[in-house]
């Protein structure tokens, strides 16, 4: 995922520098004398509105602030598995910063390309961290047998899905950017939309798997569910579980918005009203990442717990008050007996 984000930066920079980024949409369409007079009907204005600098400044500042805080948290608690989210926050903030340029130069297609690619593709990094977090949380509580598939496989499955949908969206975006005619542009948009739809389906499936796991832990593993009951609520692992629920909700809202927006086309109402961008994209994504500031995973899960360790590997989980678990089998019956023997030690 980190390599893909680096590729995104290179691709966006190349696209912005490309002669295609600054080409006129049609030599037969005259350029408006005043690009600020009627942005909605300006064929050279990709946003169809003038970006609001105040809203941009607020959004950029908040996202960068969260990124700075989580950078420190990543170092302090050695939570490298959250690094993709942190880097994604920086690239998302970079995309938002491009809107300052679009306010001054609303017809700057190169600026728009960089803004769009970073804003739309950066959330793939947020999603990746959530995928890994579920596997680590399940192993930490010694309850991976409550997942539909083993923790290691479920993490790899959804990470692979995230990378695949990222590449599909990137391919669609690249084709749209380099299109020389409306037919190619439409094809690129359809590919991009397919990537968004697949990402939405994948993440909705992940959210369902996660909620099912929470339900089964609460119902079938009461000791694991209440293992932090004696601690303050903000130190209870269930606070982190709630944060992951809120993060999933924010990403789902944004994913639905982007899917519907692109299905309407780049000149549809959702794409051409700035209020929708902030209310249904920026705000939900900000909540999805900022919720981890008070509930940083490193405060709850020891750094030695891995979501990618093989089931049954020694040292892959910590259960109860410092009791080290050896990993729960994928078979639910066997897993329940192992969990029971460990929980008696709590």
Alpha-carbon distance of 320 to 228, in angstroms, equals 8
Residues whose CB falls within 8 Å of the CB of residue 182, separated by 6 or more in sequence, listed in order:
none
Give the domains, in start order, of the chain with CATH numbers: 50-305 (1.20.1070)
Q: Tens-of-pLDDT digits for all 346 residues of the chain?
A: 555 555 555 555 444 444 334 444 555 688 999 999 999 999 999 999 999 999 999 999 999 999 999 999 999 999 999 999 999 999 999 999 999 999 999 999 899 999 999 999 999 999 999 999 999 999 999 999 999 988 888 889 999 999 999 999 989 987 886 677 788 888 988 999 999 999 999 999 999 999 999 999 999 999 999 999 999 999 999 999 999 999 999 999 999 999 999 999 888 999 999 999 999 999 999 999 999 999 999 999 988 776 555 554 433 333 333 333 333 333 344 344 434 443 443 4
């Amino acid at each position: 995922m980190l390599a893909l984000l680096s590729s995104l930066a290179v691709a966006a920079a190349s696209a912005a520098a490309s002669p295609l980024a600054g080409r006129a949409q049609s030599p037969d369409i005259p350029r408006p004398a005043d690009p600020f007079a009627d942005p909605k009907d300006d064929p050279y204005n990709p946003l169809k509105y003038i970006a609001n600098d105040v809203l941009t400044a607020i959004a950029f500042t908040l996202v960068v602030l969260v990124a700075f805080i989580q950078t420190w948290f990543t170092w302090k608690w050695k939570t490298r598995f959250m690094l993709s989210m942190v880097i994604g926050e920086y690239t998302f903030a970079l995309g938002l910063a491009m809107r300052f340029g679009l306010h001054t130069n609303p017809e700057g297609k190169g600026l728009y390309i960089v803004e769009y690619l970073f804003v739309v593709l950066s959330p793939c990094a947020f999603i990746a961290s959530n995928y890994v977090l579920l596997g680590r949380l399940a192993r930490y509580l010694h309850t991976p047998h409550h997942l539909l598939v083993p923790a290691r496989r479920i993490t790899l499955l959804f990470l692979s899905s995230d990378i695949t949908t990222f590449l599909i969206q990137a391919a669609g975006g690249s084709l749209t950017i380099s299109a020389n005619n409306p037919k190619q542009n439409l094809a690129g948009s359809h590919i991009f939309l397919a990537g968004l739809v697949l990402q939405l389906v994948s993440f909705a499936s992940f959210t369902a798997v996660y909620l099912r796991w929470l339900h089964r832990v609460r119902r079938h593993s009461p000791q694991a569910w209440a293992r932090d009951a004696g601690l303050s609520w903000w130190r209870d692992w269930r606070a982190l579980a709630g944060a992951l629920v809120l993060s999933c909700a924010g990403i789902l809202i944004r994913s639905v918005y982007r899917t519907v927006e692109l299905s309407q086309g780049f000149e549809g109402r959702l794409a051409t009203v700035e209020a929708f961008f902030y209310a249904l994209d920026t705000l939900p994504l900000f909540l999805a990442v900022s919720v981890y500031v008070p509930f940083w995973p490193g405060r709850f899960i020891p750094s030695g717990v891995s979501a990618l360790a093989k089931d049954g590997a020694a040292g892959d989980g910590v259960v109860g008050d410092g009791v080290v678990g050896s990993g729960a089998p994928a078979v639910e019956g066997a897993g329940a007996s192992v969990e029971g023997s460990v929980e008696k030690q709590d």
